[in-house]
């Protein structure tokens, strides 16, 4: 194991290899994460976190890449964290997506990392804030967190952002689905990508209509904007950057910039505590060992809720 | 709330509405789940659980539907549980998939349920075994658990099956990805669907080759078969049913039929216990309340690991 202080110092200088190694420590839930958290603490608190999410095919990676270009043109240092919820099946798609980011691979002002969390006992809720601290300490002004695929875990991740962008594309029926599924509440900004395609106007109108019906406001007076983009050509990306900055200004004006960091800290603490408790559950021995209890449940001698009561009582000592 | 004993009695008679209502109780994590577990206990332990998983587009729903047809022709009662890991984005795809199952909608020997777990504190690990008990008590001989989309949660679900089928399709590069991601170890049976397409032979050979290299054996002497199917025409489905029955016979011959039920009970107990502990964490007050600790972490007065230690100490009383 390399010296942690050395790696942190190199990461602060923007050495990509050092940043990469530190994110790897996070992915692998290294026993040194405690030490890493302490070493990074003095250098964090600067980066803004922007989450991007949406169904497969709406153009998340292309939009992320276009945002990187625009933010770099603006002189900002950018981190990209592509979160893969450790699916054994998403590897292929992930690889394909990442290739599109290759134009930024040689830019020293950009750090791009795909992150899996297979080894991480605390899951995404713990691993993502930890990786964000690495990119924050490395001097990123903005970190884009792109979630790959669909699933509950991604929803948890977007909740960790300061600003959440929900991407949609015309003609995917996403508008209605979005309303049904409650993603209206998750979005701080909507981007209707592929806005040069048929149906874009309808999708924008649908979203605006639903937001009026639902009167979704992110706190007093933030009206969720709907931005049209064609990420593949860069069209509308400046509008999207402006919407992100507007939301940041709004949070600052309302003394709410601390909300994102507090949400992240809260989720991380809870996830670490639950991972600790899970480890205690799995190390129970004797009559409250999981295997012994499972046997009694299968035999019909105990119901699973009563078994869980015994587990909780044992863990609580 | 209807009388639970009445619903259970009706479900045992095969009344679809009663089965549906009981699964809804599970989805919503009804406070009466304890009572439900006790009411169902005497009538369970019969159904075999077959998990089906694979990347989007390999034909999971079509294969599930074809399996239902084959199993019904054989006189078996069949349950289908389509697990949606509560993504706000998967609603549309799910709906489309379910339509393909409509040919079985009027068959009294088939119960089909899509299940979301949004309200379920124990997540999929707890909800799935609970829903399986309902379908088991309703007299199903086989329950097919189809996982929609990709993600860590689905992997957890397939681990709850007695027999797991991993579906692949030619030309998706799935073989290599499967090897990298470790799904070889998850599969009891491989089905190469769309086997009439170019590249099917290559996919089959690739899988067989990788299994030889990895010498994946599910316990002594079970050799994971690779079955070719064209689910849309029914071709190869009888071979798939035969492979499922072979695996069941293998488990019986080796006195291992109890493994699936024990895995399910173990996962359910742990998930219920963790949900209980999470609720205790969230109700902590004073200096160990999550909000108070998160504030100190954001201020740099505490690192998240030390904060989690305080949470665990408080929960343990």
For B121-166, how does the pLDDT look when each residue is reduced to its tens digit (9 = 90+)?
777 778 889 999 999 999 999 999 988 655 555 566 667 899 999 8
Residues B221 and B85 in one domain: yes
Instruction: Measure the CA–CA gap between A130 and B262, rounded to whole angstroms.
Output: 35
Ramachandran sector of residue B152 (left: φ over 0; alpha: ψ -120 to 50; beta: rest): alpha
- Which residues are CB-contacts of B169 (< 8 A; sequence separation ≥ 6)? B54, B55, B57, B58, B59, B192, B193, B194, B197, B203
Which residue among B90, B174, B265 places its CB closest to the CB of A297? B265
Which residue among A174, A282, A303 places its CB closest to the CB of B34? A303
The residue out of B221, B256, B291 marking a domain boundary is B256
CB contact under 8 A, B308 and A34: no
Give chain B positions within 8 Å (CB) of A154: 87
Give me the DSSP letters along A44-74: -S--EEEEEE--TTS-HHHHHHHHHHHHHHT
Residues A209 and A71 in one domain: yes
Order of strands, sheet of A163-168, starting from the edge strand that comes earlier in the sequence: A110-116, A78-84, A142-147, A48-53, A163-168, A189-192, A226-228
Structure tokens of B244?
């499922």
Which residue among B34, B88, B277 places its CB closest to the CB of A274? B277
The answer to which of A191-195, A264-268, B27-31, B91-95 has the lowest mean pLDDT is: B91-95
Check which CATH number belongs to the domain holding A244 and give it: 3.40.50.300
The pLDDT of residue A146 is: 87
Residues A169 and A240 in one domain: yes
Give chain A positions within 8 Å (CB) of B56: 56
Instruction: Measure the CA–CA gap between B112 and B65, rounded to whole angstroms.
Output: 10
| pLDDT over threshold 80, residue A297 | yes
| pLDDT over threshold 70, residue A222 | yes
The pLDDT of residue B149 is: 52
The pLDDT of residue A176 is: 54
CB contact under 8 A, B312 and A277: yes
Three-state DSSP at A12 gives helix
CB contact under 8 A, A178 and B88: yes
In a domain, B9, yes or no: yes
CB contact under 8 A, A150 and B149: yes
Residues B54 and B76 in one domain: yes
The answer to which of A30-34, A286-290, B35-39, B185-189 has the lowest mean pLDDT is: B185-189
**Rg (alpha carbons) of chain B, rounded to whole number:** 21
Which residue among B85, B183, B186 places its CB closest to the CB of A151? B85
Which residue among A152, A274, A308 places its CB closest to the CB of B153? A152
Angle between helical axes of A33-40 and A123-137 (0-180°, round to 10)? 40
Mean pLDDT, range A279-306, rounded to an integer: 94
In a domain, A12, yes or no: no
Residues B16 and B86 in one domain: yes
Give chain A positions within 8 Å (CB) of B291: 262, 266
For A198-218, the pLDDT digits (tens) are 999 998 988 888 777 766 666
For chain B, how many structural domains are there in total?
A: 2
CB contact under 8 A, B273 and A173: no
A270: Cα separation from own chain's centroid: 16
In a domain, A158, yes or no: yes
Give chain A positions within 8 Å (CB) of B297: 265, 268-269
Q: Which of B173, B265, B293, B313 to mutate to test the interface with A (most CBs of A within 10 A)?
A: B265
User: B233 to chain A, minimum CA–CA distance in Å?
Assistant: 26
Three-state DSSP at A143 gives strand
Q: What is the ipTM of this complex?
A: 0.87
CB contact under 8 A, A177 and B37: no
The residue out of A228, A256, A284 marking a domain boundary is A256
- The 3-class SS string of chain B reads CCCHHHHHHHHHCCCHHHHHHHHHHHHCCCCCHHHHHHHHHHHCCCCEEEEEECCCCCCHHHHHHHHHHHHHHCCCCEEEEEEECCCCCCHHHHHHHHHHHHHHCCCCCEEEEEEECCCCCCHHHHHHHHHHHHHHHCCCCEEEEEECCCCHHHHHHHCCCCEEEEEECCCCCHHHHHHHHCCCCCCCEEEECCCCCCCHHHHHHHHHHHHHHHCCECCCCCECCEEECECCCCECHHHHHHHHHHHHHHHHHCCCCCHHHHHHHHHHHHHHHHHHHHHHHHCCCHHHCHHHHHHHHHCCCCCHHHHHHHHHHHHCC
Cα separations in angstroms, B171 against A140, A208, B68, B254: 40, 41, 27, 36
The pLDDT of residue B212 is: 78
User: A73 to chain B, minimum CA–CA distance in Å?
Assistant: 31
Mean pLDDT, range A64-79, rounded to an integer: 95
Nearest to B103 by CA among B245, B232, B193: B232
Instruction: Measure the CA–CA gap between B132 and B110, rounded to whole angstroms.
Output: 14
Sign of CA dihedral A180, A183, A187, A192: negative
The residue out of A205, A224, A256 marking a domain boundary is A256
Instruction: Measure the CA–CA gap between A78 and A91, rounded to whole angstroms.
Output: 24
In a domain, B283, yes or no: yes
| Mean pLDDT in consecutive groups of 10 residues from the start of chain B, 317 residues | 87 92 89 91 92 83 93 95 58 41 77 76 82 95 81 65 91 56 76 93 87 68 92 96 97 94 93 94 95 93 94 95
User: B125 to chain A, minimum CA–CA distance in Å?
Assistant: 12
pLDDT band at A259 (very low <50, low <70, confident <90, very high): very high
Residues B83 and B138 in one domain: yes
Residues A83 and A189 in one domain: yes
Residues B66 and B126 in one domain: yes
Give chain B positions within 8 Å (CB) of A309: 276
Q: What residues make up the domain containing B277?
A: 269-315
Which range scores top for mean pLDDT: A166-175, A281-290, B22-31, B162-171?
Answer: A281-290
Residues A180 and A252 in one domain: yes
Residues A287 and A178 in one domain: no
The pLDDT of residue A54 is: 80
pLDDT band at A155 (very low <50, low <70, confident <90, very high): low
The pLDDT of residue B96 is: 39
Cα separations in angstroms, A54 against A47, A178, A278, B290: 23, 10, 31, 29
| A244 neighbors A189 (Cβ within 8 angstroms) | yes
Q: Which of B150, B162, B184, B313 to mutate to test the interface with A (most CBs of A within 10 A)?
A: B150
For B72-125, the pLDDT digits (tens) are 999 999 999 988 654 443 333 333 344 456 677 778 889 988 877 666 777 777
Phi, psi of B57 (to 5 degrees): 95, -5
Give percent above pLDDT 70 in chain A: 82
Give chain B positions within 8 Å (CB) of A37: 303-305
Give chain B positions within 8 Å (CB) of A153: 151-153
Give chain B positions within 8 Å (CB) of A281: 270, 273-274
pLDDT higher at A57 or B111: B111
Which residue among B54, B177, B263 places its CB closest to the CB of A92? B177
Residue with tokens 């209890």, as numbered in its chain: A293
User: A215 to chain B, minimum CA–CA distance in Å?
Assistant: 19
B-chain residue closest to A281, CA distance: B270
Question: What's the start-to-end Cα distance of chain B, in Å?
Answer: 36
Give me the DSSP letters along A183-203: TTTT-SEEEE-STTSTTHHHH
Give chain B positions within 8 Å (CB) of A178: 88
| A5 neighbors A32 (Cβ within 8 angstroms) | no
Residue with tokens 């690990």, as numbered in its chain: B125
Residues B149 and B292 in one domain: no
Instruction: Measure the CA–CA gap between A311 and A292, rounded to whole angstroms.
Output: 11
In a domain, B264, yes or no: no
Residues B64 and B113 in one domain: yes
pTM: 0.85
| B7 neighbors B18 (Cβ within 8 angstroms) | yes
The pLDDT of residue A88 is: 41
Cα separations in angstroms, B241 against A113, B189, B237: 43, 10, 6
In a domain, B263, yes or no: no
In a domain, A261, yes or no: no
B-chain residue closest to A43, CA distance: B300
In a domain, B213, yes or no: yes
User: B109 to chain A, minimum CA–CA distance in Å?
Assistant: 26
Q: How many CB atoms lie within 10 A of CB A105?
A: 11
């Amino acid at each position: 194991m390399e010296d942690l202080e050395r790696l942190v110092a190199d990461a602060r200088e923007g050495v990509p290899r050092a940043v990469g190694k530190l994110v790897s420590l996070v992915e692998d839930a290294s026993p040194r994460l405690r030490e890493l958290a302490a070493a990074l603490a003095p250098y964090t608190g600067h980066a803004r976190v922007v989450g991007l999410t949406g169904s497969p095919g709406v153009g998340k990676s292309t939009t992320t890449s276009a945002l990187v270009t625009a933010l770099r043109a603006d002189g900002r240092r950018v981190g990209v964290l592509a979160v893969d919820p450790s699916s054994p099946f998403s590897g292929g798609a992930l690889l394909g997506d990442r290739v599109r980011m290759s134009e930024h691979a040689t830019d020293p002002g950009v750090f791009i990392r795909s992150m899996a969390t297979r080894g991480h006992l605390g899951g995404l809720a713990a691993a993502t804030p930890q990786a964000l601290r690495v990119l924050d300490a490395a001097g990123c002004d903005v970190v884009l967190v792109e979630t790959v695929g669909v699933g509950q875990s991604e929803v948890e991740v977007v909740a960790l952002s300061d600003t959440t962008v929900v991407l949609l594309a015309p003609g995917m029926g996403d508008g209605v689905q979005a309303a049904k599924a409650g993603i209206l509440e998750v979005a701080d900004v909507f981007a209707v990508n592929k806005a040069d395609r048929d149906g874009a106007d309808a999708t924008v109108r649908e979203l605006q209509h639903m937001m009026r019906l639902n009167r979704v406001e992110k706190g007093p007076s933030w009206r969720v904007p709907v931005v049209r983009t064609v990420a593949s050509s860069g069209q509308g990306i400046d509008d999207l950057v402006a919407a992100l900055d507007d939301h940041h200004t709004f949070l600052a004006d309302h003394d709410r910039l601390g909300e994102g960091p507090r949400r992240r800290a809260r989720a991380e603490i809870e996830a670490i505590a639950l991972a600790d408790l899970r480890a205690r559950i799995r190390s129970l021995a004797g009559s409250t060992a999981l295997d012994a209890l499972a046997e009694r449940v299968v035999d019909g001698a105990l119901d699973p809720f009563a078994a869980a009561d015994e587990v909780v009582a044992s863990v609580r000592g």
